[in-house]
Chains A and B, each alone.
Chain A
Amino acid sequence: MTAAHPTVSTQSLRDHVLSNIEGVLWRESFPKCDNAPIGILTIVDAVAAYHEEGKELYPRVLITTDLDGLLKSVPFAHKIEIRRANITSREFPDALKLCAPLATDGWVIFMEIDTHTDQIRSGLVSLELSETSPTFYRQVFGDLSYDTGIPTIYIANIGKRVVAIDGRSGGRLVVSLTLRDHATQAVNHVQELARVISFSCEDDHRDTVENFVTKLLETGLRDCHGALIAVVKDDITAIEILKNSLTDGTYLEDPIDTPGHLKNCEAERTPEAFTRARLFADIVKNMLSFDGITVFTNTARVLAYHCFVKDSGPGSGSTGARSRAYEAMIGSNIFTCCFCRSQDGDERIWESK
């Protein structure tokens, strides 16, 4: 009597994701290109947890069929072409490897596919002219973009081993390479948060402040492993209540006055003013990486970081410490807005009525 062969069933995450990528390319009207889906798959796999020389990197990749056409309506674009090669599935990760260490501080990797010549051109592109200019994503995919009809996708890491592929048609494919239960992240709450943070800024500056804070949060949150942000009303009473209730935290003697720095940029228009704004923004981005809550006022000043609220305990229903802290923030009645971003990239936002 022979032993029964064990039943083997295979679940191929690779095939599933590849099929979805093919779906995205079809939806975005990319011309047929046999090597592109596999090439993009390798990019997604790499971007999910990219390391170079032991350092974590978060390169963003734009794939399009006509870069110059796509950027025609953008006021300024700095491009550096790094290489040109035939379109093979190997070329995508090779180009990524050459460009990823350079794709920081506003630079995005581009890969332009030309199926007529069977060539792929890759390099770096940036759309930023100053500290206050809108982000790349906002100008090409967000509310400053318009439909050029040019097939384009944008690949970015949005959490620990989670990658989003955004298409110009508005669809988003989220690829989670963990097996944890991950809520599909369709909505970007960062702009909403920035709106609340800049709500009480002066009328003639609010637009600029909101844009700057959006940019600051997007880049800061991208580079951190989850974050908690709270917004408090900028008045003496509310801040007093905050300090008395949230005693475990690092309060700044002189809150970081973001609108003030931006006003200086506008008034002085000197490299020194822009450098100052950038330096303070860098500190705020680093604060977001700290454990605990970063506290903003609704006039975009940064009051405190590394703050801890008493959580409601394991009985609250939420399992993670960050989630419990988020619920405790809401329950504390101190804040006008609470924001939570998990390691996986899930975002939640709550605003008081």
Chain B
Amino acid sequence: MTTTDLIWRGPSGVQLPGDASTAGAIVPYAQALTVKQQASVVQAFERGAFDMGAEYVWRRAMIRLRSSLESLGTKFIGEMLGNPDIDEFTNIEAVLTDYQTITLSGQLGVINSTGTLKLKQALEVITHFFSRKAEQDGEELSAVDGIQIISACVKYVLGEHDLGVAVEFSKLRDKLFSTTLQPSDPQVQQLLSSPTFYVRTVVQVLLSSAKSGDGAQLENSLANINLFLPMLWPNMPETDRWAVGIAYRDVTSEGRILAAKGLKQALLKVGGFDYVPETLRSTTYRKAAKAVIDAHFNFNNFYTEPPLVSTLLRLGSTVPAPAVIDCIQAYLVVILGNHYGISYRAADLAKQGINGIAPERWMYYLNAAIPTDEVVLHKLSYIERAAGLFSEIVKDKVGPADRDQLKGAARKLALAALEGNAPRIREVAKSLLNKLNS
């Protein structure tokens, strides 16, 4: 592997003609669809059945992405998602949501960052127009929206001949499992100066091997964790530090002694035992929070969010430290909503949840988590109303005495929110988001 091969990037998609604005112009580029399937989609659009055509293309795209991810092994996918219920016998079609599929595909280089963004935008459109609410309100998918959806699907998924995880990622993964890297390796140095996104993925890959690997793969993974962790720890996002602590707890609970020893050694080097959860309560909170976030990005979220937010709320306002970030993120995504609106019933419940969060926990989230919270930053960057809503929350939770506790990038964001400066909030959020991915 050359020094330039470490950092993986997904393909930039097939080149569609700049003036391609009809299904007839775009769909022929979908190599993964048969001629008959292409013809059906074009006919659907010509007949005005834009929703049928768009949905069909969307489904085929998601199936293709999941098929690519499956090549890495469903157990690995489960580890990357932090879902222990996914194992080698799981049907990935049944458990992976569209949002998770797109996010993971972007993370593992099946699609590039632009493709990830475009497909997430398309997901938001399609989940809105296929929801009960849109049906009740008599809203229909327009030709423009339909073209937006099929354009993203064809360019980044269905137009590609071979769609698989980035070769560089596969090579890196193999190398992490098959050799013990040295500090002087150029790949190590390159990774240390990479954006958060890459570092996070490497840490997740190594932790997944620690939790389920064996033999030489396990030994190499543990050695590499012990190499990387002290170097990465000072700048490591809080969620990733918790991931290491939680992995240590899990392998110890399962009696995987070799893995427990290796992770313990790594945590000793960085003094990271504060990130080992004391009880299993945090697991319950995190699971409930993840359910809210999954529902938010899935179909009919207007209706599915309220009961799930209610479940999270009922667990109690004393959120265990390992679950604080996930819970606040869950509440925020519901309050900020998506491009099409907010589930107001869920948002009212989420506001109660935010109000119940202790001030020091909220400051912890602002300082340590929000600069790397891709989900919330994305909303603050691209959803018009989100900045204003965020500003209201911050004004409510951050008192004058707390301002001095705000640090770094979080300070800029929070101060903009306290001033009610929505454009500035968007600007800072976008800058933080770009820093994560480039």
Contacts and interface: CB of A to CB of B under 8 A. Distances in A.
Interface of A: 72-73, 75-77, 129-130, 132-134, 139, 143-144, 146, 203-204, 206-208, 210-212, 215, 266-267, 269
Contacts of A206: 214
B33 to A, nearest CB: 38
B400 interface: no
Given A72-B273, A75-B248, A134 B260 contact: yes
Nearest to A73: B273
A72 B268 CA distance: 11
B225 to A, nearest CB: 16
A215 B252 CA distance: 13
B435 interface: no
B59 interface: no
Interface string B257-296: 1111100100110000100111110000000000000000
B255 A133 contact: yes
A207 B255 contact: yes
A73 B252 contact: no
A212 B255 CA distance: 7
A201 to B, nearest CB: 11
Interface in B11-56: none
B260 A208 contact: no
A17 to B, nearest CB: 35
A130 B251 CA distance: 11
Given A129-B249, A144-B252, A215-B255, 8 more contacts: A73-B264, A76-B253, A76-B280, A132-B253, A133-B254, A204-B213, A211-B257, A269-B84
Contacts of B252: 75, 129, 133-134, 139, 144
A266 B85 CA distance: 10
Contact of A130 (B253, B273, B276): B253
Contact of A207 (B214, B268, B278): B214
Interface string B340-361: 0000000000000000000000
Interface of B: 84-85, 87, 212-215, 248-249, 252-261, 264, 267-268, 273, 276-280
A75 B261 contact: no
Contacts of B214: 203-204, 206-207
CB-based closest 5 A-B pairs: A211-B255, A132-B255, A75-B249, A204-B214, A129-B253
24 contacts: A72-B273, A73-B264, A73-B267, A73-B273, A73-B276, A75-B249, A75-B277, A76-B279, A130-B253, A132-B253, A132-B255, A133-B253, A133-B254, A134-B257, A134-B260, A139-B252, A143-B257, A144-B261, A146-B264, A206-B214, A207-B255, A207-B256, A207-B259, A211-B256
A75 B84 contact: no
A154 to B, nearest CB: 19
A183 to B, nearest CB: 29
Contacts of A76: 249, 253, 277-280
B240 to A, nearest CB: 18
A72 B275 CA distance: 11
Contacts of B85: 269
A193 to B, nearest CB: 16
A1 B427 CA distance: 115
Contacts of A203: 214-215
Contacts of B212: 204
Contacts of A207: 214, 255-259
A82 to B, nearest CB: 20
A210 B257 contact: yes
Given A75-B248, A267-B87, A144 B215 contact: no
Contacts of B84: 269
B264 A144 contact: yes
B248 A208 contact: no
Contact of B254 (A130, A146, A215): A130
Nearest to A205: B214
A160 B264 CA distance: 36
B85, B212, B273, most chain A CB atoms within 10 A: B273
A297 B259 CA distance: 26
A129 B267 CA distance: 20
B273 to A, nearest CB: 5
B268 A146 contact: yes
Contacts of A130: 253-254
A269 B212 CA distance: 15
B254 A132 contact: yes
Contacts of A211: 255-257
Contacts of A212: 255
A266 B273 contact: no
Contacts of A77: 278
A144 B260 contact: yes
Contacts of A73: 264, 267-268, 273, 276
Nearest to A262: B255
A257 to B, nearest CB: 17
Contacts of B276: 73, 75
Contacts of A269: 84-85
B212, B260, B268, B279, most chain A CB atoms within 10 A: B260
Contacts of A144: 252, 257, 260-261, 264
A345 B2 CA distance: 60
Nearest to A75: B249
B184 to A, nearest CB: 28
Nearest to A77: B278
A73 B85 CA distance: 27
A206 B215 CA distance: 10
A212 B257 CA distance: 10
Contacts of B87: 267
A266 B214 CA distance: 15
A129 B280 contact: yes
A131 B265 CA distance: 24
Contacts of A266: 254
A85 to B, nearest CB: 27
B206 to A, nearest CB: 17
Nearest to A130: B253
A130 B256 CA distance: 12
B333 to A, nearest CB: 28
Contacts of B256: 207-208, 211
A146 B248 CA distance: 15
Contacts of A215: 255
A208 B254 contact: yes
B271 to A, nearest CB: 10
Nearest to A127: B252
Contacts of B264: 73, 144, 146
